[in-house]
Structure 1
């Protein structure tokens, strides 16, 4: 029987558990694991398309997390007796060159449905085919497998509830795949290569730049890598026993455990959603099965929904008019207002607190994301794509389908036939009743009672003097009359 060699191209699947591309590559006599830092994912890039703008593709929070995750994958593979070849360059050049160098019989990879990832993947596949090397693609980042959907993905409903009902009615959820015995590298394999410094990827970093660690007041440190992911699952579900109350606490704003916070590891592929689901089911068998355990699965299905929607609609999601092709919204371009929003200086405390948390830590609660997005897209009517792109820069848990899908939804150009906006002060009163979250990120408002901390513009001159808060000096004047800005949305 002839000797075979495979190459497995790791992408956003930085784990050895439940990894079909890795499992299939391990059927060969030798396997060559490869990770490629694509220069197009870093630095300042044009958004593309009509009315383009420039933005930073990957900010320091996600870059730190990714570098840690790649290093952790290399350590895991070395523990299995092999190594990870790391390169900086375009994958459509790097992967075929390495595959040719090791005389690979086939290359395995996972596939994603979003435009940029699919374009790169297709270019890699075409180059491999031209070199006479078999390219094998696998779907492995959703709870429900693409092949198990109750209908062709192009016929899936565009509303989540209809999708969820269809999937819940008898669609099987596959068990996580085993972690395979990983074959050794070929004896003549190229050198493993160094994990790059930040300045090798983004020229805005100097050669001695250190990426910022999350501050002490961050909800979690978010250490990158598979081991950190599995430890978080263990800590949240089992040690802390937080899953039993997930539905009641998931809209919290402060603390490590109001929600699972699995998303950074899910989106970088350090954690498999099927593994999470298997732990939920194990918890239900061992401890309790209730609305909260169901609700974590419910949220994983939301993540699935956007992945399949992007497979269905493709690049339309990234257009200003979205999948609804709307032309009736007069999107504005006001750089000064946009910069105030990004800096957390809008004068609307609930928005500003969330934006400052995002800037300092790379994370923001789901509730915060909805309100910050609604303020930009609805109250200000600034181009929603710029807000989504800013989130792409900053979020440690950025996933293109989830991020742009949710932004389009809030902006009224995505998966909802209604115009939707959030009443920010009502949201702040409901989800931050004591203004503890606002004061955590806006300490200049610490002296104010909760109602005033949520709406400091309502303070009388006497109250401002008594509390020592001067608007326009200690904290910005609101950039819009919030209540009046809702009138055009009703």
Structure 2
């Protein structure tokens, strides 16, 4: 019988620090590391070349850091089961070590296939939690306490070195061209674990001092938010490390303004996992309405011309167009403006959330499926339980771009004949949307479904221990990845 050997399968966890599968691999006589660039991901509608560029940039320092510890990182292109089958002929691993993943439909299908392959091959697949998401959760009761307990646990400790099988060397990384990808329309920021930690440290050292105020405006959010969302999405830093570092500063800083700001940020870290838990518990929400009473509400009324105008930032509503153009150019925008974009698509343009959601997933460098699809439905009014929030683009401009600086930057042709007229009459569009949605919510079916959805997915605050996070809060809307970070 072969001696136990471990294969560490990296997915959305591209780091060395606080990496449970790596810590476990140190117990084995032989170990290898693997990252698979999967055609299923590259061909998925939510994948964009900007995501692949960021991924490759994060893999390079990871590969070098692992090599320095004696663990080669193999980078293979292909479907996961095919790659694992081929690799096992070269390296007879007995254990597959990875983090759990709450991903889109293609990765869910992939993981089921890998689980079946492991059973057939006699390979032990050990999965480790890396966020506050609880696998096979039976009830939301006590979830907040479990989150706090997991985030307060000690970090996984990286072994001093590994014993790799002879003849195995780290893989060269493919280029975008090698992968059939060519142009990138957005700027892609630096990636990697060191970059993630530098971003966190600058935020905690004072950049986040105005966080509570700065996060709402696209003028101030780029600097005032933590900007950790893409790093958490790709796992170049762990949620636990962010939580613990934030709590440490809250406890130790004499700067009361900074501490107050960081308490707001710390509270939102739990919301990050809260939304991911929804997709973990009900993967179908990526494809269908939370509330089935909403089925047929918008699906048959989809207007392709309106959708394309929204995607291109030429709706004739300046704040909407400015936000879309910033997003397309940079891959990031703050949460309030994300919510406004989705609200506008859902209520003003009466578009079903699925196609706008796929488009935005490709634009967001920090695309996190659990947060994304929950928020798409929340801002579209199809969860059945959340308050209907219809954003006024004009009010958002008055509140968050009072001088017009932001709009002029991203829509330089405003005020000229080149800028289009509004593609819908706002008053008529919103009157129609309100009539349809408020009428629907009053039906017996919608009320029954709302009770069931709240019981399964609703937030529970019970079980949180006293900490820097436990402060008195005024009522506020739930938040997602952009405003969070």
1:104-138: CA deviations, max 9, x gaps? 12110111234332221221122122112111111
How far the C-alpha of 1:88 sits from its partner, in A, is: 0.4
Match of 2:209 in 1: 244
Match of 2:460 in 1: none
How far the C-alpha of 1:308 sits from its partner, in A, is: 1.2
The worse-fitting range, judged by mean Cα deviation, of 7-16 and 410-419 is 410-419
The worse-fitting range, judged by mean Cα deviation, of 330-339 and 268-277 is 330-339
Match of 2:27 in 1: 27
Match of 2:160 in 1: 181
How far the C-alpha of 1:57 sits from its partner, in A, is: 3.2
1:159-191: CA deviations, max 9, x gaps? xxx975x668988732322233240321143x5
Unaligned residue ranges in structure 2 (runs of 5+): 435-485
* CA–CA distance in structure 2, aligned partners of residues 86 and 103 of structure 1: 17
Match of 1:487 in 2: 431
* CA–CA distance in structure 2, aligned partners of residues 170 and 14 of structure 1: 24
Q: Is 1:66–2:20 an aligned residue pair?
A: no
Match of 2:354 in 1: 385
Match of 2:271 in 1: 302
Task: For residue 35 of structure 1, give the secondary structure of its aligned residue in structure 2.
Answer: strand
Is the contact made by 2:378 and 2:386 (CA closer than 8 Å) also made in structure 1?
no
* CA–CA distance in structure 2, aligned partners of residues 3 and 163 of structure 1: 39
Q: Is 1:135–2:125 an aligned residue pair?
A: yes
* CA–CA distance in structure 2, aligned partners of residues 70 and 108 of structure 1: 18
Alignment of 1:35-50 (within 5 A): 35-43=35-43, 45=44
Is the contact made by 1:251 and 1:259 (CA closer than 8 Å) also made in structure 2?
no
How far the C-alpha of 1:212 sits from its partner, in A, is: 5.3
How far the C-alpha of 1:232 sits from its partner, in A, is: 0.8
1:83–1:413 CA distance, 2 compared to 1 (3 A): same
Is the contact made by 1:72 and 1:224 (CA closer than 8 Å) also made in structure 2?
no
| TM-score normalised by structure 1 residue count | 0.81
* CA–CA distance in structure 2, aligned partners of residues 480 and 184 of structure 1: 64
* CA–CA distance in structure 1, aligned partners of residues 156 and 8 of structure 2: 16
Q: Is 1:146–2:134 an aligned residue pair?
A: yes
1:280-301: CA deviations, max 9, x gaps? 1221233146432221122111
* CA–CA distance in structure 2, aligned partners of residues 323 and 76 of structure 1: 46
Match of 2:110 in 1: 120
1:168–1:36 CA distance, 2 compared to 1 (3 A): closer
- Number of residue equivalences: 428
* CA–CA distance in structure 1, aligned partners of residues 412 and 326 of structure 2: 12
Task: For residue 294 of structure 2, give the secondary structure of its aligned residue in structure 1.
Answer: coil
Is the contact made by 1:96 and 1:124 (CA closer than 8 Å) also made in structure 2?
no
* CA–CA distance in structure 1, aligned partners of residues 384 and 36 of structure 2: 33
1:209-251: CA deviations, max 9, x gaps? 464562xxxxxx621111111111122222xx12333222221
1:273-332: CA deviations, max 9, x gaps? 1111111122123314643222112211111011211122221x1234235552262332
Which of the pair has the greater relative contact order for Cα pairs under 8 Å at 6+ separation? 2
| TM-score normalised by structure 2 residue count | 0.82
Match of 2:202 in 1: 235
* CA–CA distance in structure 2, aligned partners of residues 441 and 268 of structure 1: 28
* CA–CA distance in structure 2, aligned partners of residues 118 and 213 of structure 1: 28
Question: Aligned to 1:477, which of 398, 421, 446?
Answer: 421
Question: Aligned to 1:361, which of 327, 330, 339?
Answer: 330
Task: For residue 28 of structure 1, give the secondary structure of its aligned residue in structure 2.
Answer: coil
Is the contact made by 2:276 and 2:370 (CA closer than 8 Å) also made in structure 1?
yes
Alignment of 1:60-459 (within 5 A): 60-114=49-103, 115-140=105-130, 142=131, 144=132, 146=134, 153-156=137-140, 173-189=152-168, 191-202=169-180, 205=181, 209=182, 211=184, 214=187, 222-238=189-205, 241-255=206-220, 256-287=222-253, 288=255, 290-315=259-284, 317-327=285-295, 329-331=297-299, 332-414=301-383, 416-445=385-414
* CA–CA distance in structure 2, aligned partners of residues 175 and 436 of structure 1: 46
1:276–1:417 CA distance, 2 compared to 1 (3 A): closer
